[in-house]
Chain A
């Protein structure tokens, strides 16, 4: 059973056209993360939500925003995608307080900017 679900798996968007990627979870985890992964690179954390608290990484461009309307869903908004934003976007979840630090990842959304 899928536990972290990302939609769509593949997204093509036009240069400068806003795009939203979605993530949902059935694990009831209180932390949700968005990572960006470019080809042959490690995942890079963009931001995370600890419950409703939004935590932005210092080097995440302003072009990237996120929303978490409830525990189960989290969205990544790219306001004006550039060619450099083409990447795999990974959503992950974990439960703070269990002391294990284990993150569960979705299948990812591969974003193409044309």
Chain B
């Protein structure tokens, strides 16, 4: 069975500081992994995705994530936090391999950015 664990339900950083949101997955097959962002009272917006190929994935808004199979991790980073990055972030794994399939979400991490 596939699952996702996000370490830390709440992360607080100062503006300009490094953002690191942790995600570990469990999958019996090569996973498709995603990071979504959700602003208050909004839907989910795709930040980036890993399917195959390059393990360092760049996304929108300066975010990137690295797929590390040996560590079963897909942590999200951004070198310099901006106030507009404050939101809820969800890591997810696609349940159906090689198909547009159901997503299994982690519990979410709320990112706060202090001025």
Contact = CB atoms under 8 A, between A and B. Distances in A.
Interface of A: 4, 6, 29, 31, 33, 40-43, 45, 48, 88, 90, 92, 94-108, 110
Contact of A33 (B42, B102, B106, B108): B102
B30 to A, nearest CB: 11
A105 B45 contact: yes
- Main secondary structure, interface of B, reads loop
B101 interface: yes
B99 interface: yes
B41 A102 contact: no
22 contacts: A40-B110, A42-B108, A43-B105, A45-B102, A45-B103, A94-B100, A95-B100, A97-B99, A97-B100, A99-B51, A100-B51, A101-B34, A101-B94, A101-B96, A101-B100, A101-B103, A102-B100, A103-B34, A103-B103, A104-B46, A107-B42, A108-B41
Given A42-B106, A96-B101, A101 B51 contact: yes
Task: Categorize the interface residue count of chain B.
Answer: 20 to 34
A28 to B, nearest CB: 12
Contacts of B107: 41-42
A99 B44 contact: no
B49 interface: yes
Contacts of A48: 102
